[in-house]
Amino acid sequence: MGFEEYVGNPLWPLLVETVHAMVMYPHHKAYTRDVVLHEEPDVTARDLAAKLGIPLGEALVILYELGKQKSEGLAEGESEKASEA
């Protein structure tokens, strides 16, 4: 099941809101970005949840948001390169 199937679910916004309210969420997200993804770029949500001892829903939101940030960052970087040329 890809992220598109989760994001399209009417309950997705509720999951995101709940995860964002979790006290350790920002720390888990930062650790995932700074450590886990460097060691294991293709980590699955299930593996991340097991590795960090977090709920699967939190792992899904973290990986979705980091993937979205990465793709937006690449798009911004590409447009900056095009404007410099």
Per-residue model confidence (pLDDT) at position 5: 87
Pairwise CA distance, residues 25 & 33, whole Å? 12
The amino acid sitting at 84 is E
Q: Give the CA distances from residue 76 to residues 6, 51, 67, in Å, rounded to whole numbers and listed in that order.
A: 26, 31, 14
Which residue positions in the chain have pLDDT lower than 70? Answer: 1, 75-85
Q: Which of 49, 60, 46 is nearest to 4 (CA)?
A: 60
Per-residue model confidence (pLDDT) at position 80: 54
Pairwise CA distance, residues 82 & 61, whole Å? 31
Residues in the chain: 85
Pairwise CA distance, residues 78 & 84, whole Å? 10
